[in-house]
Amino acid sequence: MTVKRSSAAGVCWTLLMGCVFAAHAVTFEVTDGNSTCIKADLNISFSITYNTTNGTSAARFVLPSTAAVGEGSSCGGAGVPPELLVSFSTGHTLTLLFSRDTHLYRVSNISLQYNLSDTSTFPQSSSRGLLTAVRNVTEIWARLNSTYRCVSPSSFSLSPEVNLTFSDVHMEAYMSGANLSTDESVCSADQTVTTAAPTQSPRTTSAPSPTPLPAPLQGNYTLTDHNGTACLLALMGLQLNITHRSRALNQMVSEVVNLQPNRTTASGSCGVTVATLVLTEDLTNLTFTFTLNSTTQKYSLSAVNVSALWPDMTDRFEEGNVSLNFLQCSVGRSYMCSAEQTLSIVPSFSINTFRLQLQPFNVTAGRFSAVEECRVDQENMLIPIIVGVALAGLVLIVLIAYLIGRKRTHAGYQTI
């Protein structure tokens, strides 16, 4: 086991307890022989309330640059999970316990053992000896073979007395190489903008108003049948709007997240009259159901279901609507809408679509059929045409007025 240390400029994080300076970033490595299994750049601020001879006091400090990988750190194996123990100062130990499944790894448990006998950290403490605070964690997770990155401050309450704030974290477990992966799993706080949902009076209602994010990247999703032939095509950028209870704020908030195409897998099924597209990104599952009406020879998006567990959610968010009639299009054609659209699924969940083109039925040769544009795109095309016709008409009126005026001027003179 080895430890490397590196310094960073002092940063002041404003927390509930005041301003805490995280002056040092420390890099920890857990190894097994010549192989590295855990590597972590950690910047941590601590706030611990303890009893003194005169009442209570709060110890506020940062992870020192002298912190080192502690005895008991392990790469795991044979049913034993990897574990990083960080020892610092006089008898203090921070432990991160990891777990994994087929796609993700996570910090499943954080514990802090702190020594009240350390009088430099806990002056005038009325107690002595070691105390331990523990928390099971769901917020810190990443895709396997990727680096967890979270620059934003993330606070964790291990007990009523013990609070930790992580910032500028780069970490990977179950590593396949000696260096952190260049592929990053970015925490929700770094990639979303969250705003508190407005308070509603008994007589009025208003929708949450999240701060807009940049437009999402366009994903390319294709389903194939049992012969390997493309049967559903979809090009689209997706932005999810979910109103849920915030773990950090303990109130309802509206959170906006862009679906990342490079981290999203597509699955589903193609049928004669029903097709399903399932998009999965980490702990977010989005299911689109398309239905073909054989009488009208039109298809539409008839149902949407979502299941999401984002870091700031208190519980898994699950909602859906099976009575929709969006994105109507004629059979044998592809539906296109380049403009941004908002699909309101339920009051607490909506989807913004960008640069969308899809065809869930009658795909030929793996390519989109002739386009049927949405009304917004049609109107956007009509506007410049109308403006052009109006300008041409104005030019014509000016020209006619000029010719009439010129003729009258000549009529006012007689030839001698």
- The model's pLDDT over 337-393, given as tens digits with 9 standing for 90+, comes to 999 999 999 999 999 999 999 999 999 999 999 999 998 756 655 556 666 767 777
Pair 257, 393: CB distance under 8 Å: no
Q: How would residue 318 be classed by pLDDT, with cut points 50, 70 and 90?
A: very high
Percent of the chain with pLDDT over 90: 57
pLDDT one-digit tens code per residue, 190-245: 765 444 554 443 333 334 454 567 889 999 999 999 889 999 999 999 999 999 98
Give the pLDDT confidence score for residue 381 in this predicted structure.
Answer: 55
Give the pLDDT confidence score for residue 393 in this predicted structure.
Answer: 73
H/E stretch holding 188: helix 188-191
Mean pLDDT in residue range 112-136 = 93
Closest CA to 284 of 261, 259, 254: 259
Q: How would you class 183 by CB atoms within 10 Å of its CB: exposed for 0-12, middle for 13-18, buried for 19 or more?
A: middle
- State which amino acid sits at residue 24: H
Pair 164, 153: CB distance under 8 Å: no
Say yes or no: do domains 26-187 and 219-375 share a fold.
yes
Q: What is the DSSP string of 358-381?
A: EE-S--BTTB--SEEE-HHHHHHH
Is the Cα torsion angle 40, 45, 49, 52 positive or negative in sign?
A: positive
What angle (nearest 5°) sits at the alpha carbon of residue 124, between those of residues 119 and 126? 105
Give the pLDDT confidence score for residue 60 in this predicted structure.
Answer: 92
Q: What's the mean pLDDT when you consider all of the chain?
A: 84
Q: How would residue 415 be classed by pLDDT, with cut points 50, 70 and 90?
A: low
Instruction: For residue 386, give the DSSP letter.
Output: H
pLDDT one-digit tens code per residue, 144-159: 899 999 988 888 899 9
* Dist. CA 352–CA 257, nearest whole Å: 10
pLDDT one-digit tens code per residue, 156-173: 899 999 999 998 899 999
* Dist. CA 4–CA 28, nearest whole Å: 6
Q: Tell me the pairing of strands 334-337 and 371-373.
A: parallel
Give the pLDDT confidence score for residue 206 in this predicted structure.
Answer: 38
Pair 84, 93: CB distance under 8 Å: no
Strand order in the sheet with 55-62: 55-62, 44-52, 162-166, 154-157
Residue 393 has phi, psi (to 5 degrees) of: -65, -40
In the three-class reduction of DSSP (H, G, I as helix; E, B as strand; rest coil), residue 396 is classed as helix
Pair 116, 56: CB distance under 8 Å: no
- Measured from the Cβ of residue 41, the count of other Cβ atoms closer than 10 Å reads 19
Residue 187 has phi, psi (to 5 degrees) of: -65, 160
- State which amino acid sits at residue 329: C
* Dist. CA 409–CA 103, nearest whole Å: 86
Q: Would you state the structure tokens that stand for residue 220, as one six-digit string?
A: 């390319």
pLDDT one-digit tens code per residue, 259-303: 999 999 999 999 999 999 999 998 899 999 999 999 999 999 999
CATH code of the domain made up of 26-187 = 2.40.160.110
Of 63-67, 132-136, 241-245, 389-393, which gets the smallest average pLDDT?
Answer: 389-393
In the three-class reduction of DSSP (H, G, I as helix; E, B as strand; rest coil), residue 51 is classed as strand
* Dist. CA 19–CA 11, nearest whole Å: 9
Q: How would residue 2 be classed by pLDDT, with cut points 50, 70 and 90?
A: very low
Which of the pair, 332 or 101, is modelled with greater confidence?
A: 332
Q: Which residues contact 244 (CB under 8 A, 6 or more apart)?
A: 252, 253, 255, 310, 312, 313, 314, 317, 348
H/E stretch holding 195: strand 193-196
Give the pLDDT confidence score for residue 401 in this predicted structure.
Answer: 77
Beta bridge partners of 349: 242, 346
| Count helices and strands in the chain by DSSP H and E runs | 2, 30
Task: Give the torsion through C-alpha atoms of 379, 380, 383, 389, to 10 deg.
Answer: -90
Enumerate the domain spans of the chain: 26-187, 219-375
Give the pLDDT confidence score for residue 190 in this predicted structure.
Answer: 75
Place of tokens 């979809």: 234
Give the pLDDT confidence score for residue 185 in this predicted structure.
Answer: 86
* Dist. CA 93–CA 105, nearest whole Å: 22
* Dist. CA 56–CA 396, nearest whole Å: 86
Pair 82, 76: CB distance under 8 Å: yes
Give the pLDDT confidence score for residue 201 in this predicted structure.
Answer: 36
Give the pLDDT confidence score for residue 319 in this predicted structure.
Answer: 92
Pick the CATH number of 219-375 from 3.30.950.10, 3.20.20.480, 2.40.160.110, 1.10.357.10: 2.40.160.110
From the centroid of its chain, how far is CA 103?
Answer: 17
Instruction: For residue 297, give the DSSP letter.
Output: T
Give the pLDDT confidence score for residue 385 in this predicted structure.
Answer: 63
- Measured from the Cβ of residue 338, the count of other Cβ atoms closer than 10 Å reads 14
Of 117-121, 196-200, 250-254, 337-341, which gets the smallest average pLDDT?
Answer: 196-200
